[in-house]
Structure 1
């Protein structure tokens, strides 16, 4: 636990049903010409058009970039940045999942500070000039990116997911409207929901956790655990969707102010090399990594296990920690989360890059925040375990 800590979040958070209607009013307070960064699916669903209508009503002009197709890359960032400069936009609005929001974060910084987005990795270059104001509008309950000061962008030359964290990357305004998540299909609801759970759990067990993030992370876990299956099975359950959005938002605030751990460190190389969406790769890894970490996080995971318990049940702390791991495995089963093999990753190709992935994971810094800090060889072994991981009868990871 950190002895000294800081709590950062967006300057303004608009939360609740119908919050999206505020996007025009919020944008008008930041600029006169907006660049909307989104994707073709959001456009087809009508969310981009709705956003532009709200902007029109507030006398804010807008142009649209719909080039985000998968996990954010430096190519998307450069394309959107070129449009931003050409159209002389002075406010950015991201509408979509974490990929759209992370792309917008990078554009907002580069538009005023210049350079290549990779220059900012590891604090090599600091954003000293205020970025273009950014309004983040998530349409999934998962990444929490609307409330974090980090962005993850893939370097398309090196196939490395660059995790870049600086206060300037924090969106100025977050607009979290559960009505925008109703359109999420089951598989997206499942993967992004477990992703949000992984954010909350890792924020809580992290070596950088502190009392403020603990309270927020525990609240996020309860909201997610109590509602994820409802949102998965009944996508039009607005109360469940609203709870998931709040849980995801809280989880984002929690991990942005503590840290993520081994799950995220291992997840990024999988996304970079095999183009597995971030939410899916986190969900695939979470149970096995918790199993690996359990003996060094018994009390913290015991608190997680208590959230899964029925009121009349009594457990020792060790039993509660076991319950946490087993409950997460069962949840992944119910939500049809695949393992890496089930996703369709070729085993031979996967094994050929395990050492690179383990090295990249360790270099990201996230594994160092884990309760059980792994060696590179242990990460490599854990990748092998995760490839064929059985969520119902998983073997223990040996010490």
Structure 2
């Protein structure tokens, strides 16, 4: 297990040299990604080059505790090397598979339960992550997120051990995404960047990653909609997403993610979609106390006016975010995704239980204020 992650960008063929020396390889993905021609070709090459290849291609979105428990029963006794190809859910589960690969077969279920209660993984099999969405940045984070429906939330298993040995940013794998998936996952990347930049735990290292990532995001997000086959644009958004994950590793997200966790944990709303709903109202909530940093965000926008006063720059960021979500065609109301006003008090209570993220808020927040944020996007 390496101390540092090696990041490659470009064609998927680059992974051949990485995998040739491994005998027992497990590739994890989902049904949609499995059907991509590049992934089918990758699987064919792996079958020729390694002693034994296991392919698990039914990983679900927003994985729940029961999903991971079921997966554990399918795993082979020996796993030397894990390859995760997919969106954030696939990459998170691939991290856990790599941990289980270093546990005795009979002890894997118990090991998973220990991780859910706060124990940290200490070792794993070698790990290569290949994101197929430019959004979660999971390939750059030490996190694996699992939904716990009965608690209407998600649990983060967090340890530097979960950082992969290798990452491949292959833009051709993102071109098959429908436009609405490209939109929501891209906004997820922006949430990581702007939340980490404004978090109470922000720091110069995380801020540097966030600023680089936001510059790449703002310069490319509109281009990916008008020119979806432009591989350079898609690569730049993959880098923006990667820097978002790197920001999380050094800082942390806060209100957007804390409030989105119950939407995913209880209602299985896709993570990027939940975040895109909450981005604007949460940024409005912190805009004034974070005015200086919001002004720095404004200066990264393509048409920024450097002569604007700091207060106007901060407000202009909110205006930009509202316009962007609308331009991307993403829903802006909880009612649009089937959430009713009567369910909001439970969501607010559950959000406040995500203490790890609530603590990162740049301003203290009460349950009533969280409820008000939900109410602001519910009619």
State TM-score, norm by structure 2. Answer: 0.92
**Where does residue 93 of structure 1 map in the other structure?**
83
In 1, are the aligned partners of 2:299 and 2:305 still within 8 Å (CA)?
Answer: no
**Unpaired stretches in structure 2, ≥5 consecutive residues:** none
From 15, 19, 22, the counterpart of 2:14: 22
Deviates further, 170-179 or 311-320: 311-320
- Give the Cα separation in 2 of the matches to 1:144 and 1:134: 15
Paired residues, what number?
Answer: 372
Aligned to 1:395: none
Q: Would you say 1:251 and 2:241 are equivalent positions? A: no
Structure 1 residue corresponding to 2:261, chosen from 253, 262, 268: 268
Residue pair 2:187, 2:272 contacting (<8 A) in 1 also? yes
Whether contact under 8 Å (2:145, 2:156) holds in the other structure is yes
Would you say the 8 A contact 2:150–2:266 is kept in 1? no
For residue 60 of structure 1, report the CA deviation from its aligned partner: 5.3
CA distance in 2, matches of 1:314, 1:263: 30
> Is the CA contact 2:33–2:85 (under 8 Å) kept in the aligned structure 1?
yes
What are the equivalent positions in structure 2 for 1:1-399 lying under 5 Å apart?
10-15=4-9, 17-18=10-11, 20-29=12-21, 31-59=22-50, 61-86=52-77, 88-113=78-103, 114=108, 115-121=110-116, 124-128=118-122, 130-308=123-301, 310=303, 313-341=306-334, 343-348=336-341, 351-352=342-343, 354-364=344-354, 365-388=356-379
CA distance in 2, matches of 1:355, 1:85: 43
Distance apart, 1:37 and its partner CA: 1.0
2:134 alignment partner, SS class:
coil
Distance 2:289 2:114 in 1: 35
Residues 64-95 of structure 1, C-alpha deviations (whole Å, 9 max, x = no match):
11222321222332233222234x22211111
What SS is found at the alignment partner of 2:177? coil
Relative to structure 1, is the Cα distance of residues 342 and 358 closer, same or farther in structure 2, using a 3 angstrom cutoff?
closer
1 CA distance for matches of 2:153 and 2:292?
34
Task: Check 1:117–1:268 CA distance in 2 against 1; reply closer, same or farther (3 A cut).
Answer: farther
- Conserved 8 A contact 1:217-1:251: yes
Deviations 1:223-263, CA, capped at 9 Å, x for gaps = 11111111122210122111111111111111221101110
The runs of 5 or more residues in structure 1 that have no matched partner are 1-7, 389-399
Q: Distance in 1 between matches of 2:262 and 2:113?
A: 16
Stretch deviating more after TM superposition (154-163 or 187-196): 154-163
In 1, distance between residues paired with 2:53 and 2:17? 14
| CA–CA distance in structure 2, aligned partners of residues 226 and 80 of structure 1 | 40
Q: Are the equivalent residues in 1 in contact too, given 2:219–2:302 (CA < 8 A)?
A: no
Alignment check: 8 A CA contact 2:80 2:101 kept: no
Q: Distance in 1 between matches of 2:253 and 2:7?
A: 22
Taking structure 1 as the reference length, the TM-score comes to: 0.88
Matches of 1:54 and 1:387, distance apart in 2: 50
Q: Following TM superposition, by how much is the alpha carbon of 1:178 offset from its aligned partner in structure 2, in angstroms?
A: 0.8
CA positional deviation for 1:11 = 2.0
1:391 alignment partner in structure 2: none
Task: Check whether the contact 1:77–1:107 (CA below 8 A) recurs between aligned residues.
Answer: no
